[in-house]
Structures are given as C-alpha cells and as structure tokens.
Amino acid sequence: MATLKKQSKDVGYKSPLLAHLLSLLLAAGDVTGKEVDRKPNFVLMMVDDLGIGDVGCYGNDTVRTPNIDRLASEGVKLTQHIAAAPLCTPSRTAFMTGRYALRSGMGSTGHVQVLLFLGGSGGLPPSETTFAKRLQQQGYTTSLVGKWHLGVNCEHRGDHCHHPNQHGFSYFYGLPFTLFNNCVPGEGSDVLVDLQHALQNLTMLLVVGLFTLVCVRVCGLLEVSLWLLVALWFLTILATAVWYIPFELMPTWNCIIMRNQEVIEQPMTVETLPQRLLGEAQNFIKRNVDRPFLLFFSLAHIHTPLFKTPAFAGKSRHGRYGDNLEEVDWIIGKMTETVDSLGLANNTLMYFTSDHGGHLEDADSVIGQKGGWNSIYKGGKAMGGWEGGIRVPGIFRWPGRLAAGKVVDEPTSLMDLYPTLKYLAKDTQPDRQLDGYNLMPLLEGKVERSEHQFMFHYCGIYLNAVRWHPPGSDSVFKVHFFTPNFSPPGAGGCYDTKVCLCHGEHVTHHNPPLLYDLFHDPSESHPLTPDTEPRYAEILEQTAKAAERHQNTLTNKPHSQMTWDKILWRPWLQPCCGTFPFCGCKEETTHMS
Ligand SMILES: *[C@@H]1O[C@H](CO)[C@@H](O)[C@H](O)[C@H]1NC(C)=O
C-alpha cells in the first residue's frame, strides 16, 4: 500500500513534466509543419511599374493575361488597391514595413526620389521591421527573389546593413538594385541625366581650354606658366574621372546579381534574367513544401529596358511593351502551376500586385510605348497623388479560404499586407505604429467596409492628398493640396524630366484644395465646388482634421536616407566580385534546371 501510494505519487509528479514535454514537442511539430493546423504559405508577386490598365481582368481587352485573370477568377480582386507612393523605393518600403515611407526616412525631400547607386549609404534602416522579419520570428522560411532597391551597405563594403538578409529574408537571389536602362547598352541613361551632361560639358570646356593655352604657349603668343598647364591637365583628368567612373560604369556598379551576400554576376546578362528569376522562385517553393514559407517574388519586369525574350517577341498587339506584359503573365502562370502541382494551393495565399502605376513618359519613336497603361485613371508613376500612379492591381488567391470570383471595391493599401501576414502567421507580439490593416475580414466577406476611412497620399515626404471614404456612403473623396506641374505645360506628365518632382516650383499648391469624388468621377476630371457638392465644407474639414491627427503620429522624425550625402556613389561601399575596382563575374548556370 505504502509502495503503491509512493508510486502513484511519483507518477503524479512525473505526469505534468511529461505533459509539458509533450506540449513542447507538439509546439516544435507546429514549427516544422507536421501539425494539421499548419500556418499558411505566402507567395507574393510584385511587378515593377505595371499599370492597372495593363491587365485583362482590370478591363484590358487587347492584351492577353489569362494567367493573372485566372488568379482573379479563383480569388479576390481588389479594384481600389493603393500604393503608398508612386515610385519604387518609397512604395516598396511602405509595402515591406506596413508604414508610410517617411516613418523610416525613405521619403524624398528634393530631386532624388529613389536610391540611385548601389554604392550609396542610404537604404531601409536596420532598425526597421519588415513582414519578412516578423514571419521569420514565427518560424517561417523566407525568401526574396528579384528586385530589392532598398540599399545594401552603410559604412563599408560588406556590412550589408540594408541587405535583404538583414531584413528578414533568409534567402536572397536577385537584383539588389533594379533593372534600368543603363543595364543594356544603347538604351540610354536613367540616372541624373542633367548632371551627367553638365559634367561632360565641363570636361569638354576644360579640354578646350587646355588645348588653347597649350597652343598659345607653343606659338609663343603669350607667356603661359607651365604650372598652370599641369594644374589644368590634372583638373581635366579629375573631371573626366568624376563623371566617367560613377556614370559610364553604371552597369558594372549597379546591374548585378547577388545570391545572399555574394555578388555572383557583374555586370549581369539581362537576356537570361527572366528565366533565372523564375527558376529560383520555383526552386524555393519546391525546397520548402514541408514547412511554412514566405516567398516575395519581385519581378524585374516591366521596367525599361524591355526584355526581348524570343518566345514572346512580336507576339502581342502592343509592341515590345505588350510582349513583355505577356511574358509577365506567363511567369505568373508558371508560379501558379508550381504551387498547384505541389499540392500547396489550399494552404498558400498567392498575391499579385505592382509597386505603383505605369510610367506614362516612357515612350520613344522607335519602340513606341515603353511604360504601363493606367486605364481611366489620371497620371502615372511619379505624379504624386493622382490616381493613375497609385491605384494598382491587387489579387489574392487562396482556394482553401477565400471565395472565388469575389470583387472588393473598398479602399485597400499595399501596406495592408504586413498586418495581414502577421495575423495569418498568428503573430500577436507588440509592434510599431502601422498604417495598414488586416485585410482578411474584408477578403473573407466578414465585413463590408474597409478600415481605411482615410488614406494619405505622399509625394516624397510631402502630404499631397487625402482620401476619405465616409461611413455609410459610396463616395470616395480625394482632396489634393498640391499637384505636380506638367512639362511641357498642358501635357499629361513631366515629359521634359521624365519624372515629376514634389517640391518648390515643380508643384502648384491649391487653396482651397482640389476635390474629387472618385466614385462618380474616377478619372479626377471634374473638381467639386460648394455648388456641386452639398458636403463640400464638411469634406474639407474632415480631411484636414484627419491629416492633422495623422501628422501627430509622425513625431519622431528619422534621419533621411534620401539626402545627396547618402545617395551619391562611394567606392568603398560598392558591392563587387573580385578585387575592387576590377569587379566582374558570371553566374555558373550549369546546375540550373
Ligand atoms: C491594354 O494595354 C495596352 C498595353 O499597356 C495599352 O496600350 C492599351 O491601351 C490597353 N487597352 C485598354 C483597352 O485598356
């Protein structure tokens, strides 16, 4: 009896320990994905510069995008999906962090609106948190394949303080910078063209001056000191170096491919980029069928220079731009096929979007259209708060969870991804001030109204416009405090400079602000007046109050990452394979499937 009692006592003592051990084991099972109630996978696909009017399911009837359309018909299509900025660096920052870009110092104050050189020190601050970092903490395997454009180094080559690996992506393959015209010879330059010209002209002037003085001396016309000639000669060499090294070597410095922290191709071969990025994205999914993963597939398309992939060349009805669109669609189809064929469809949330609207100014007489089409919406890339630059496609497919063919017209933001992913990954840890909202209730049809009663539209760091979707109303009002000045005047964009700017003489301020109702006037062509809109005064008052409340949340101003000092190229920050400055390497592609 006594022994029995002792035994039962021992058992009684041991069992909580056992239970504890068991629960620990179960928890571990959860993380490795052996649990029934597994966390969902995320496949986020973002196209660069794609316009909302470029896609079939958003009303385009001449371009063929069956695979994107299929995602929409099998999932939820958002018709008022808004980028937080009309340019890549700030828009992508907001997307990744769930907050307006100026909260992390990634908003521009002047001419420089995006990062211009990989060898600059600006970028997504190491203190910022991305959705990838949050998911990583929840046991997710995370990867970025494709374009980053949020900086690399801070103080020396290889500190990788802004690198995707430091921002929650355990695997990175792709472009730490972006695809841009300088990557392909003969496509022209995208970076500080006016500065390049000024520097070249200065050098020419010096050369001419030097030769004239040499002639004068040789011919004995005047006494010219030898020292002056030597000094001038040095100055000429220096001036040449200043524009030649950062600008002429743009492809070597910026068109590179990295795998994790290693530069594996420099300069990159653009022709094979689409298939390599797709292959990497597919392989990442294949490697991770057994555990929850996040893949952010950030396409190099459809930014210029346009690809010339033979399988698509000349096939569309919209020239090379249309060919590239159809290639994008094919890639999206391959991604869906990969998810489906691995049996992951019901447990994978697939998302399709663009970082901002199409670039209207991008066209030439040879190729014709080179930038995206923004449908009925006014403006485009880099045009502040005009709808065409910020309203983008937004499609969510998740057969296990979301109804097929649903359409949501409510205002939503790319910044909503961050809280949505956190919610789905069951991350309830405290966080910073976010500007996005969990989209699941809206996507699942549990609520009818978006939580974005107000939305703020930035041009650089300047509050450009406010959107108001008043409770109980269909209207979506938008007030513009200022608008970009188009050049030449009257044109539908800034054709002289290729992008519009947000400050000084480049904008026109409106007092009272310009007011539109997007519900009745989606192309923002008929400003409302007190005579045409009974709620006119109330709208101005409500939006002004909302702007003030919003600005009160922006108290701790971070250091700007977009100052000249941080943007300009520095040799010691330049990612390089080999010995700087003799950088150069090619990816070995033998292992590729
Ligand atoms: C379809 O997209 C192409 C390519 O951007 C564009 O040129 C065309 O105008 C669009 N058509 C419609 C009906 O939106």
Q: What CATH number has the domain bearing residue 550?
A: 3.40.720.10
Whether the predicted pLDDT of 2 surpasses 90: no
Instruction: Collapse the DSSP code of 349 into the 3-class scheme (helix H, G, I; strand E, B; otherwise coil) and give the result.
Output: strand
Query: Is 124 in a helix, a strand, or coil?
Result: coil
DSSP result, 281-311: HHHHHHHTTTS-EEEEEE--TTSSSPP--TT
For strands 412-413 and 76-82, give the pairing.
parallel
Ligand 1 centroid distance, CA of 63 (Å): 7
Q: What is the pLDDT of residue 495?
A: 93
- DSSP assignment letter at 494: B
3-state secondary structure of 91: helix
Residue 239 confidence class, pLDDT cut points 50, 70, 90: confident
pLDDT category of residue 144 using cuts at 50, 70 and 90: very high
Residue 149 annotated to the active site = yes
Predicted local confidence at residue 434, as pLDDT: 97
Q: Can you give the pLDDT at residue 28?
A: 45
Mean pLDDT of the chain: 91
SS3 478: strand
What is the position in ligand 1's atom list of the atom closest to the CA of 61? Answer: 13
> What is the distance in A from the centroid of ligand 1 to the CA of 123?
34
- Residue 159: predicted pLDDT: 97
φ, ψ dihedrals at 299, nearest 5°: -65, 150
* pTM exceeds 0.85, yes or no: yes
Number of domains in the chain: 2
Q: What is the pLDDT of residues 423-474, one digit of tens each?
A: 999 999 999 999 999 999 999 999 999 999 999 999 999 999 999 999 999 9
Claim to verify: residue 235 and residue 261 sit in the same structural domain: no
* Same domain flag for 322 and 221: no
Average pLDDT of 234-257? 86
| Neighbouring C-beta atoms of residue 285, cutoff 10 Å | 21
Is residue 223 scored above 60 in pLDDT?
yes
373 CA: nearest ligand 1 atom:
5
Contact 71, 331 (CB under 8 A): no
348 alpha carbon to ligand 1 midpoint, in Å?
31
Q: Which atom of ligand 1 is nearest to the CA of 372?
A: 5
The residue from 88, 494, 500, 583 that is catalytic is 88
Nearest protein Cα to ligand 1, atom 12 = 60
Residue at 165 is within a domain: yes
Tell how far the Cα of 49 is from the centroid of ligand 1, in angstroms. Answer: 14
**CA-wise closest residue to 122 among 100, 170, 89:** 89
Residue 522 counted as domain residue: yes
3-state secondary structure of 81: strand
Of the pLDDT bands very low, low, confident and very high (cuts 50, 70, 90), residue 590 is low
Distance, in Å, from the CA atom of 505 to the CA atom of 512, rounded to the nearest integer, reads: 19
The rounded Å distance from CA 537 to ligand 1 centre is 38
CA geometry: angle 293, 299, 300, nearest 5 deg: 145
- Alpha carbon of 326 to ligand 1 centroid (Å): 12
Residue 11: per-residue pLDDT = 38
Query: Does residue 265 share a domain with residue 240?
Result: no
Mean pLDDT of 275-285: 98
Long-range contacts of 313-320 (CB under 8 A, 24+ apart): 316/63, 316/64, 317/62, 317/63, 318/62, 318/63, 318/369, 319/367, 319/368, 319/369, 320/367, 320/368, 320/370
User: How would you label 140-163 residue by residue, b for 16+ Cβ within 10 Å and e otherwise?
Assistant: bbbbbbbbbbbbbbbeebeebbbb
CA-angle at 10, arms to 9 and 14, nearest 5°: 120
pLDDT of residue 162: 98
pLDDT for position 378: 97
Neighbour-count burial of 260, counting CB atoms closer than 10 A to its CB (0-12 exposed, 13-18 middle, 19+ buried): middle
**DSSP conformation class of 519:** T
Ligand 1 center to residue 345 CA distance, Å? 31
> Residue of the nearest CA to atom 6 in ligand 1?
373
Q: How far is the CA of 317 from the centre of ligand 1 (A)?
A: 9
Residue in 62, 302, 327, 354 to alter for ligand 1 test, most ligand atoms within 8 A of Cβ: 62
Q: What does each C-alpha distance from 173 to 145, 262, 302, 304, 452 come to in angstroms?
A: 5, 10, 18, 20, 34
Confidence (pLDDT) at 198? 85
Same domain, 389 and 460: yes
Tell me the per-residue pLDDT of 12-59, one tens digit each, with 9 for 90 and over. 344 444 455 545 444 444 444 444 578 999 999 999 999 999 999 999
Q: What is the pLDDT of residues 478-508, one digit of tens each?
A: 999 999 999 999 899 999 888 999 999 999 9
* Residues in contact with ligand 1 (CB, 6 Å cut-off): 53-54, 59-63, 318, 321-322, 369, 372-373, 375
* Range with the poorest average pLDDT among 2-6, 402-406, 478-482: 2-6
Measured from the CA of 59, which atom of ligand 1 is nearest? 14
Same domain? For 434 and 466 the reply is yes
Distance of alpha carbon 410 from alpha carbon 366, whole angstroms: 40
Residue 500 contacts residue 506 (beta carbons within 8 Å): yes
| 162 is a catalytic site residue | no
Residue from 302, 318, 321 to probe ligand 1 pocket by mutation (most atoms less than 8 Å from CB)? 318
Structural domain ending residue among the three candidates 230, 247, 264: 247
pLDDT of residue 36: 52
Q: Look at residue 174 and tell me if it is in a domain.
A: yes
Tell me the pLDDT band of 87, cut-offs 50, 70 and 90.
very high
- Give pLDDT, residue 110: 86
Position 55, amino acid? V
Q: Are residues 313 and 358 located together in one domain of the fold?
A: yes
Judge whether 6 lies within some domain.
no
CA-to-CA distance for 93 and 150, rounded, in angstroms? 7
Q: How far is residue 142 from each of residues 104, 149, 217, 428, 557, measured CA to CA in Å?
A: 22, 18, 68, 19, 30
| Distance between CA atoms of residues 176 and 355, nearest Å | 16
In the three-class reduction of DSSP (H, G, I as helix; E, B as strand; rest coil), residue 131 is classed as helix
Going by pLDDT thresholds of 50, 70 and 90, the confidence category of residue 7 is: very low
In a domain, 536, yes or no: yes
329 and 443 share a domain? Answer: yes
Same domain, 124 and 216: no
What is the tally of helices (H) and strands (E) in the chain?
14, 19
pLDDT for 423: 98
Atom of ligand 1 at shortest range from CA of 375: 14
Res 1 pLDDT > 50: no
- Whether residues 561 and 519 fall in one domain: yes
> Is residue 43 within 8 Å of residue 338, measured between CB atoms?
no
pLDDT tens for each residue of 294-339 = 999 999 999 999 999 999 999 999 999 999 999 999 999 999 999 9
Shortest-distance Cα residue to atom 13 of ligand 1: 60
Q: Is residue 318 domain-resident?
A: yes
Three-state SS for 179?
Answer: coil
- The verdict on 74 and 220 lying in the same domain is no
Among residues 149, 160, 452, 457, which one is catalytic? 149
Supply the residue whose CA is at minimum distance from atom 2 of ligand 1. Answer: 54
Residue nearest to atom 11 of ligand 1 (CA): 60
Q: What percent of the chain has pLDDT over 90?
A: 78
Q: Which residue has the tokens 């980029």?
A: 273
Residue 327 inside a domain? The answer is yes
Residues 468 and 348 in one domain: yes
pLDDT of residue 20: 54
Domain that holds residue 359: 41-180+255-583
Q: Whose CA is closest to 425, among 182, 124, 142, 106?
A: 142
Residue 515, in any domain of the structure:
yes
Residue 203 and residue 173 share a domain: no
Which residue out of 63, 68, 69, 375 has the highest number of ligand 1 atoms within 8 Å of its CB and is therefore the one to mutate? 63
